[in-house]
Amino acid sequence: MPTFIMRRFIEVNLILATLSLIGSNSSVFINVAFSSDFQSPRTAALGGAGHAGPVLNDAIYLNPSFTAFLQSYGLAINYIRALRPAPHPHYNLSVLDGRSELFQAGVGYTRREHNNFIHIGAAKSFVKRIGVGLGGKFGTFQDGTPLAKDMTASLTLIPIAWVQAAIIVDNILSEDVGKRLGWEREFILGTKVNLMKLILAYADPHWAPDLDEGAWGFEGGLELALFSDFFLRGGLFRSAHVPFLNGRGSGYGFGAGWMAPRLAVDYAFSSAASGVIGTSHAFGLTVYF
């Protein structure tokens, strides 16, 4: 019975989120998709890396096409506390349906200091080891007034069991109002290598052609599996979008996570030392089955 209730809860939230987007702006459903405008503790600890193999609900923000390989339901709650330049919290809630036979989908809501985001999208694996994904994001002011919208498309390849790769085109529309939120058009190549299930290495170079400076950037991280359910993470980022600061910068992140059979608990510390400057703590709880 608990599993049945959770399934119905996820399906209802997906429907309500889609309807809210359509009701707010009829053109949004046609024109919008995903972006990494929110980083969970897992992503932040890896320096923003993980596009080729996002864990659980992280696929909603990093790479929607990977949802096709998750094969699980997920409910995630995240809290980010920015310490500098001024203390302010971010809240995030997301649900994921990776078991649907027709297509796999997820939706996330993020409340920031001055605006809110809703992300939705869908993925499908038409050929074994290849997934494609599309989705949408919609930004509003705190009072619900529409702010911006944009698109993302992605492709995930798993050529062999221990290597994964992804190609993501983010912020396809790249409208002027969206650029104020850091939504510049960006091309991302995500890679992940699993070394004997002990060390997971991520390298995600990216290119933002509309930027005069810092067009080329990089996010990379390592994940160490100390036990089957406990992970240590660390990463670096250069000229990358820093969601909790709403700008581009360079810095590092580190953290840890515990992954039980149906529960994941994660923490991360992130620091941007050049470009935009600031630090944050992130905490996350994900229930999945």
Task: Supply the DSSP string of the chain, one letter for each residue.
Answer: -HHHHHHHHHHHHHHHHHHHHHHH-TTHHHH------S--HHHHHTTT--TTS--GGGHHHH-GGGGGGT-SEEEEEEEEEEEESS-EEEEEEEEEE---SS-EEEEEEEE-SSEEEEEEEEEEEEETTEEEEEEEEEEEETTS-EEEEEEEEEEEEEEETTEEEEEEEE-SS--HHHHTTT---EEEEEEEEEETTTEEEEEEEEE-TT-SSS-EEEEEEEEEESSSSEEEEEEEEEEEEEGGGTEEEEEEEEEEEEE-SSEEEEEEEEEEEEES-EEEEEEEEEEE-
Q: What is the pLDDT of residue 176?
A: 78
Q: What is the pLDDT of residue 151?
A: 87
From its phi and psi, is residue 214 left (phi > 0), alpha (psi between -120 and 50) or beta? left
How far, CA to CA in Å, does 128 sit from each of 74, 123, 132, 158, 168?
23, 13, 11, 9, 19
Residue bearing tokens 């599993």? 3
- Give the whole-angstrom CA distance, residue 26 versus residue 22: 5
Residues 76 and 284 sit within 8 Å (Cβ to Cβ): yes
Residue 221, token pair as written in the block? 């991280």
Q: pTM above the 0.75 mark?
A: yes
Looking at the DSSP bridge assignments, the partners of residue 253 are 235, 270
Q: What is the pLDDT of residue 102?
A: 85
**Residues contacting residue 266 through CB under 8 Å, at least 6 positions apart:** 40, 41, 42, 45, 255, 256, 257, 258, 282, 283, 284, 285, 286
Q: What is the pLDDT of residue 167?
A: 97
Q: What is the pLDDT of residue 16?
A: 41
Per-residue pLDDT of the chain (289 residues; tens, 9 = 90+): 444 444 444 444 444 444 344 333 333 322 333 345 789 999 999 999 999 999 999 999 999 999 999 989 999 999 999 887 777 899 999 999 988 888 899 999 999 877 888 998 899 998 889 999 998 888 877 666 777 888 899 999 999 989 999 999 998 888 877 777 777 889 999 999 999 889 999 999 999 888 876 689 999 999 999 988 999 999 999 999 898 887 889 999 999 999 999 999 999 999 999 888 999 999 999 999 9
- Give the whole-angstrom CA distance, residue 2 versus residue 7: 9
